[in-house]
Structure 1
Amino acid sequence: MKAIVEYTDYRKFIQDYYDERKRDSALTWREFAQKAGFASAIFLKYVCEGKKNLSISAAGSVADAMGLVGFERTYFVLMVMYAHAKGDEAKMAAFEKCCALARAHKVRVLGSEEFDYYRSWKNPLIRELAPHMPGAMPSEMARACRPKISTAEVAETLDFLEDANLLKKDQEGNYVQTDKSISMGSVEAVPLAARDLQRQMGELAVRAINFPLAERSMSGVVLGLTQESYERVKKELLECRRRIIAIATESNKTQRVYRLNLQLFPLSEDLDVANDALKNKEERNDKKRV
């Protein structure tokens, strides 16, 4: 069975624990439930199947039934709290607690580096900037950033990127990227952090409106689309992004670091639904008049 810090889904952890114990000692769901203090023999089976939820108050009893102690017991309870968290901020806060607990015990949570990477716009900026400023000190990199960030923030970001194996130093002591691109990963909290990064980048775009026209390119159009045409436009944007990345990677030289936002979002509700509601309202009024 995998280490507990390789899980973020408590249901999956319970299921894997049960499957392993069933192979080794013929554990039954009834025995497992009784050991955890549940009257229903199949409650934990339903929990693993997503039919029932394990309450935070009962998480400790289940952890005890699985023989978890110390930080592993606490980590299991935090996984249950993470599952109960409502909204992006609460989810990210619960995941951060899991990561902090793991770091305190010198272990790594699966997806924690990706999660931390997407938490701040400074990480992708420095990851692109540092390899193209050979020999530069953090203070010199800080002065090259726009908007400005402190020397301490650059140094902290560089340390994180090295620890996460997103940057490394070559034989001359210059930074190089370990990979050309970064995968978002499959841990649920990582896309949540990525959405927060998109929000941060959107805020930077608003501030960039004041840049000289020669240094920025901003345009937009309001469109009326069907669902089919929306899917076609979205596909076209993905293809455009792929071509732009190809252009950017043609040369190993970088003169400036840019952020490109591709955004397509609704400014109205579904008009078919709205018109159907309007039509139904008119029909009801006609009946009343009759």
Structure 2
Amino acid sequence: MKSVLEYKDYHLFMQDYYDERKRLGAFTWREFCKSAGFSSPNFLKLVCMGQSNLSRPKIADVAKAMGLADFEADYFRELVTFCNADKDSVKKAALLEMQKIALEHKIRVVDGDAFQYYESWKYPVLRELAPMMPGANPRDMADECKEYVSAEEVRDILAFLVKAGFLKKDGDKVYSQTEQTVIGSKEALPIAIRAMHKEMANMAARAVDRYSANERHFTGVTLSVCQEAKDIIAKELDDCCKKVLAIANAYKNSDQVCRINFQFFPVTEKIKEPHHA
């Protein structure tokens, strides 16, 4: 059976543990539950099926019943916290702690590079800007950014982008983009990307007053839709984004980094029944 450090879902880990114990000899859900201090003989079966979750006070008991101790028990605690959490901030903290424990014990399970890349506008912007400024030093790049970034930050970010595989260094102060656009697990990326969406939305709000109308293009519409129309519109926005990227990539003389936000979200609850006058 794999180490707990290789799991990203505690329900699956517990199911694998049960299956392994069952394969090696007589073992029942009743026995598993009893060893973890549960009076219900099938509660942990429901947990493994995803129909119930472990409460925080019982994590240590279940970990002990499965023979987890020290860093493995710590990882299991963070794993349960991550899977059960509703808030992105809690999920992120647990995921980063899982990574820390895993890396300390030589097992790379979850990739924190995604969090670092998406934690600030500076990373994707500098990834686009650096190849356009061959020979430029960090101070030059910092001065070109509309939002404040220090030369020291630029230097550190460039080093990260090269190390993580987002940029390739072709010579002294010369960079090119790699094909790699994202690094990270499927568990990490949604949390990291939501943080980026929030930051970019705040930048867009500031842009309304910061730039003149000929420097920016803002448009929007308020509309009523059904679910089918929403799905079609969402796909159109995705296709539009791909078309925009294709247009930008067709030109080799880029001289500025821009950001496009596609924002399509509900402003009312769904009306369950038609209202008639």
Give the TM-score, by structure 2 length: 0.85
The answer for the alignment partner of 2:218 in structure 1 is 218
1:6-63 Cα distance to aligned partner (Å, 9 max, x none): 3221111112233334334554434433443434443322210123321222212222
- Please say if residues 99 and 110 of structure 2, whose CA atoms lie closer than 8 Å, have aligned partners that are also in contact: no
Is the partner of 1:47 in helix, strand or coil? Answer: helix
Q: CA, structure 1 residues 200+44, in 2 after alignment: closer, same or farther (shift >3 Å)?
A: same
Match of 1:68, as an amino acid? L
Q: Mapping of 1:140-289 within 5 angstroms?
A: 140-170=140-170, 174-179=174-179, 181-182=181-182, 185-187=185-187, 189-209=188-208, 210-270=210-270, 272-273=271-272, 275-276=274-275, 279=276
Q: Say whether residues 1:83 and 2:83 are aligned partners.
A: yes
Cα offset, 1:149, TM superposition: 0.7
How much has 1:104 moved relative to structure 2? 4.6
Contact 1:119–1:193, Cα closer than 8 Å, also in 2? yes
Which residue matches 2:65?
A: 65
AA matched with 2:192? A
Aligned residues: 276
Question: SS in structure 1 opposite 2:168?
Answer: strand
RMSD (Å), alpha carbons: 2.8
Structure 1 segments of 4+ aligned residues over 6 angstroms from their partners: none
Look up the equivalent residue of 2:206 and give its one-letter code. Answer: R
- Percentage of matched positions with identical amino acids: 43
Of 204-213 and 126-135, the range deviating more from structure 2 = 126-135
Alpha-carbon distance in 1 for matches of 2:235, 2:83: 33
Relative to structure 1, is the Cα distance of residues 67 and 133 closer, same or farther in structure 2, using a 3 angstrom cutoff? farther
**1: CA distance, partners of 2:213 / 2:157:** 30
Q: Is the 8 A contact 1:111 1:190 kept in 2?
A: no
Could you say if the C-alpha distance between residues 184 and 76 of structure 1 is closer, same or farther in structure 2, counting changes exceeding 3 Å?
Answer: closer
Unaligned runs of 5+ in 1: 283-290
Displacement of 1:129 after TM fit?
A: 1.8
Deviations 1:117-155, CA, capped at 9 Å, x for gaps: 222222211222223222333222222222121123223
Whole-angstrom CA distance in 1 between matches of 2:54 and 2:226: 42
The structure where helix makes up a greater share of residues is 1
Distance 1:274 1:143 in 2: 56
Q: How far does residue 205 in structure 1 lie from its aligned partner after superposition? A: 0.7
CA positional deviation for 1:266 = 2.9
In structure 1, give the amino acid aligned to 2:197: Q
Could you tell me how far apart the structure 1 residues matched to 2:3 and 2:253 are?
42
| 1:160 CA displacement | 2.9
Structure 2 CA distance, aligned partners of 1:135 and 1:70? 50
CA–CA distance in structure 1, aligned partners of residues 113 and 6 of structure 2: 13
Q: Which moved more, 1:220-229 or 1:5-14?
A: 220-229
Aligned equivalents of 1:138, 1:205: Cα separation in 2: 25
* 1:72-128 Cα distance to aligned partner (Å, 9 max, x none): 210111111223333222222332332344445554332432233222222211222
Corresponding position of 1:9: 9
8 Å CA contact retained: 1:127, 1:161: yes
For the 8 Å contact 1:5–1:109, the answer to whether it is kept is yes
Structure 1 residues 77 and 227: alpha-carbon distance in aligned structure 2, compared to 1, 3 A threshold: closer
CA distance in 2, matches of 1:116, 1:21: 39
Structure-2 change in CA distance of 1:244 and 1:109 (3 Å):
same
Q: TM-score, normalised by structure 1?
A: 0.81
Bigger drift between 15-24 and 42-51 goes to 15-24
Structure with the greater alpha carbon radius of gyration: 1
Distance (Å, rounded) in 2 between the aligned partners of 1:186 and 1:138: 32
Structure-1 separation of matches of 2:12 and 2:140: 47
What is the one-letter code of the residue matched to 2:164?
Answer: A
1:126 corresponds in structure 2 to: 126
Say whether the 8 Å CA contact 1:184–1:191 is kept in structure 2: no
Equivalent AA in structure 1 for residue 233 of structure 2: V
